[in-house]
Amino acid sequence: MSSSGAERHSGQSPELIRETGAVLDVAMYVVDAHGLIIDVNSQAEKLLARSAEELVGQDAHDLLRRNSRGETMPRAQCLLMQAFLSNRTAHGTQDWFERGDGSLLELAWTVTPCRVGEEARGAVVLFHKEQPDTSTSAPGRDGRPTAPLTELDRLALLAETTTTLTSTLDVDDALDRLVRLVVPLLADWAVIDLFTGGGDVRRTAVLHYEEGALVRKEGLEGPMPPVPEESSMPLCRALRGGSATVAGPRTYHGPPDSGVAVVQRELFEATGIHSAAIAPIRGPREVLGALTLGRADRAGHFDAGELSLLEDITRRAGLALSNAHLYQQQRRVSETMQRHLLPQLPSVTGVQMAARYLAAPNASQVGGDWYDAFVLPDGPTALVIGDVVGHDLDAAAGMAQVRNMLRALAWSHQERPAAIVERLDRALLHLTDISMATVVFAHVEGTDDGQWLLRWTNAGHPPPLLVASDGEARFLEYGHGILLGTGMAPERSDAVITLPPRSTVVFYTDGLVESPGESIDVGLAKLRRSAVPLAQRPLSSFCDRLLDRVRSDDNGDDVALLAFRVPAAPEHGPEAAPAPAT
């Protein structure tokens, strides 16, 4: 690392840091108060197979620390992180670090506090290869602790629980994270019972830690019997919101007081659990379920301190699950609202039609993407794809306004598409609060000689894609004008073509072809390239596969797609060919 780079990131003398590391012949990096690497020496670069540029500015724990299976080490189980957070000197051995090539390296380390600025604290981490020191009290190679958790361990685990669970809004993901936080650290079995929407209880997960991995026992999962109010058994009390309790096989030796007790007895017999801690998972307003931690393969019973720790963990889990439930409910309502605003496709003799709508993957809000199709009084079928600017309820409401206005104008005036869109543009300025929108409005109709004509106009929208039955694909870029709502009221033009037999036309919104950090031209090229091998597929499969192949995983926008396919040419009809644009 250059001297200037070190001086820029460190409050200490970079020369002194590197000279100290060189004298000790040890790899070394320095972190700031947030755990970000601010300086490294050459020995560290060599040992970690990473350049200074790849290390500086990165979170040292997330980048380097791993368990023996190569998985990111939870902060609550990392002695190095605990020492750093408590601002003390510590030493560890037989810990795993990930190198730049992805390989794992077992190293010994020493961390000691240092000052990295006028007021800020940080730490220096020295590390090297060393014979294992079996006296360490760190978690074992399989992740199981080799000594009871200290108070610092408990605080670190609670901090890790809060950070880990609040960073997801997916219920299943939150439950998976919860189990991995406590197993095998506290137990080798985990059982999750949750209330369903109807007030029933379902055993949603039973997992056992085996040979370094969590194994799901689906045969022990499923619906639970009703929870009686009068039962004094631990799980029933937890599901009613009672405090955490220790249970064991002897708890269920007597006559069962409920069906839940019978299921619990069978659980203990099937798993061999000799000590279990059962705690309620409480949300802000109600009990969501219960978490049971069981010990079968390890000695020792749960004590009062561990029960208290478990209650703190489940309290945090309850808040995270409640937030995830609310998010998913809002998302379902939003998607339902959006889908109900979208129309059913009409039945047109000879023409196949299909439509798809995908909500934004990482947002609870509805958007302004829409499609429409309806048969006009004078014969043609109107096809529409559009997008109102925005990603909220206002955009969805604006979308409904634009759709309804366009339908009314097209039905009442029965003019060419460009004339209808000109009327729509003027109406938006005077009758709505919509800022801007894009739209493609088209007519498709059959001719007396069995051919099919497409006439369209485009107001600032991505161009439709024409896919011939032989796989040739091209964008329909004629008839393009500026988007709606600018106040300029331009004169718009139509374009018209005769569609090749069995050809497919795809209308879509920009969420299909846009991706963060890339030009839309890249997405358009991907769309055309992906459509070519799908030309002969049934239209429904064509749409599904096109969405799978084209939509970027990191795209946070809605997607609306409308596709139609015309029939084959009559046996003795003339060859279909594109007509000139007008």
Q: Where are the domains of the chain?
A: 3-144, 155-331, 342-565
Q: Which residues pair with 495 in a beta bridge?
A: 456
Distance CA 419, CA 413 (A): 9
Closest among 433, 419, 450, 434 to 370, alpha carbons compared:
434
CATH of range 3-144; options 3.50.50.60, 3.40.1280.10, 3.40.50.720, 3.30.450.20? 3.30.450.20
Domains 155-331 and 342-565 in one fold: no
Output the pLDDT for position 424.
94
**Residue-level pLDDT at 238:** 94
What distance in Å separates the CA atoms of residue 12 and residue 41, rounded to the nearest whole number? 14
According to CATH, the topology of domain 342-565 is Phosphatase 2c; domain 1 (3.60.40)
Residue 4 has a pLDDT of: 34
What pLDDT shows up at residue 393? 57
Predicted local confidence at residue 221, as pLDDT? 95
Closest CA to 175 of 299, 80, 281, 287: 281
DSSP annotation string for 13-73: -HHHHHHHHHHHT-EEEEE-TTSBEEEE-HHHHHHHT--HHHHTTSBHHHHHEE-TTSPBP
Classify strands 104-115 and 90-98 as parallel, antiparallel or unpaired. antiparallel
**Phi/psi at 432 (nearest 5 deg)?**
-140, 170
**Superfamily for domain range 155-331:** GAF domain (3.30.450.40)
Predicted local distance difference test score (pLDDT) of residue 576: 41
**Angle ∠(376,378,380) on CA atoms, nearest 5:** 55
Residue 8 has a pLDDT of 35
**Residue 467 has what pLDDT?**
97
Predicted confidence at residue 330, as pLDDT, reads: 67
CA angle, 355 then 356 then 359, to 5°: 150
| Closest listed residue to residue 279, CA positions, set 306, 242, 254 | 242
How far is the C-alpha of 143 from the C-alpha of 212, rounded, in Å? 7
Per-residue pLDDT, 392: 56
Question: Do residues 505 and 563 lie in contact, with contact meaning Cβ atoms separated by under 8 Å?
Answer: yes
Sign of CA dihedral 523, 528, 533, 537: positive
Give rounded-to-5 percent helix, strand, coil for the chain: 35, 25, 40
**pLDDT tens, residue order, the chain (582 aa):** 333 333 333 344 444 455 554 555 678 899 988 889 998 988 889 889 899 999 999 999 999 998 877 788 888 788 888 888 877 887 887 788 998 888 888 888 888 888 776 656 788 888 887 544 333 334 554 556 656 777 777 877 888 888 888 878 888 888 999 999 999 999 999 999 999 977 899 999 999 999 888 999 999 999 999 999 888 899 999 999 998 999 999 998 888 888 999 999 999 999 999 999 999 999 988 999 999 999 998 888 998 889 999 999 999 999 988 888 777 776 666 666 556 667 789 999 989 999 998 876 554 455 678 899 999 998 899 999 999 876 555 666 677 788 889 999 999 998 999 999 999 999 888 777 777 899 999 999 999 898 999 999 999 999 999 999 998 999 999 999 999 988 887 899 999 999 999 999 999 999 999 888 788 999 999 999 999 999 999 999 999 999 999 988 777 678 999 999 999 977 644 444 444 444
Contact 382, 433 (CB under 8 A): no
Q: Per-residue DSSP letters for 82-99?
A: HHHHTT--EEEEEEEEE-
Angle in degrees, CA 485, 490, 491, rounded to 5: 135
CB atoms within 10 A of CB 339: 11
Six token digits for residue 253: 């030796």
> What radius of gyration, in Å, describes the C-alpha atoms of the chain?
32
Task: Give the largest CA-CA distance in the chain.
Answer: 92
- For the chain, what is the total number of helices (H) and then of strands (E)? 15, 24
How much is the pTM?
A: 0.51
In the block, residue with structure tokens 């780079």: 5
